[in-house]
Amino acid sequence: MRVAPSTAALTVAAVLLSTGAAVAEDLTDSTVEKGSLGAGLIIGEPTGVCAKLYLEDDQAVQAAFGLSFIGGGFHVHADYVFHPWILEERDAFTLPAYVGPGVRAMQHASGRDGDDDFRIGPRAVAGLLFDFKEIPLDVFVEVAGIVEYRFGSDDPNINGVGLALNGGLGARYYF
């Protein structure tokens, strides 16, 4: 059986057009399915690596560790955050606010002439999350207040309870 060139051309054109229509349909639904685990970088207090694991759509555990340039030393924190408000929703992104309790630990290094100490305490975090819909990425800005207990210093004026403030800007890619 011989197929006429015009019939073959029409068949190929029909297949290409239907494939193109399916691709165009996929492009109009630009929301990307994100994984629940994101990893990335944070700049501020601390400057280092950060991660976030979504437990529910509006609840997550986030953490970061790195260097504390203002406070001086190594810093690690973890928070349980809630996303109770969506401030803006667009086709390309969502802008939720988040709040939650956490904990911070820090090995404070005072430099050559200072006295090193260890600090630990609860923290309360609040932030804004710029959550992209077209790529599995979010960008965030946050601030946290900390009630810390300082110990391990030879200077008795440094040991004890104190207050601290952290802030950071970061981005995470989701798997």
- Token couple for 3: 């197929």
Instruction: Judge if 122 and 44 occupy the same domain.
Output: yes
Same domain, 79 and 120: yes
pLDDT of 114: 66
Do residue 111 and residue 61 come from a single domain? yes
My answer on whether 80 and 114 are in the same domain is: yes
pLDDT digits (tens, 9 = 90+) for 7-20: 444 444 444 444 44
Distances in Å between the Cα of 108 and the Cα atoms of 21, 101, 104, 163, 169 are 60, 22, 12, 14, 22
Q: How many domains does the chain have?
A: 2
Q: pTM for the whole thing? A: 0.77
pLDDT in tens, 37-70: 999 999 999 999 999 999 999 999 999 999 988 8
* Together in a domain, 57 and 127: yes
- Say if residue 160 is in the same domain as residue 106: yes
Does residue 45 or residue 4 have the better pLDDT?
45
For the segment 118-129, the average pLDDT, to the nearest whole number, is 97
Q: What is the pLDDT of residue 153?
A: 77
Quick one: 64 and 83 in the same domain? yes
Q: Are residues 44 and 25 in the same domain?
A: no
Same domain, 102 and 60: yes
Residue 155 confidence class, pLDDT cut points 50, 70, 90:
confident
Domain that holds residue 26: 1-30
Q: What is the mean pLDDT of residues 109-133?
A: 88
DSSP state of 1: -
The sign of the torsion formed by the CA atoms of 171, 172, 173, 174 equals negative
Are residues 57 and 3 part of one domain? no
Is the model's pLDDT at 28 over the cut of 70? no
Q: How far is CA 147 from CA 43, 144, 166, 168, in A?
A: 22, 10, 11, 18
Rounded to 5°, angle at Cα 139 from 28 and 94: 45
Point out which residues pair with 131 in neighbouring strands: 94, 138
Identify whether residues 138 and 80 lie together within a single domain.
Answer: yes
Burial of 50 (0-12, 13-18, 19+ CB in 10 A): buried
Going by pLDDT thresholds of 50, 70 and 90, the confidence category of residue 111 is: low
Instruction: Examine the domain organization and report whether 17 and 68 are in the same domain.
Output: no
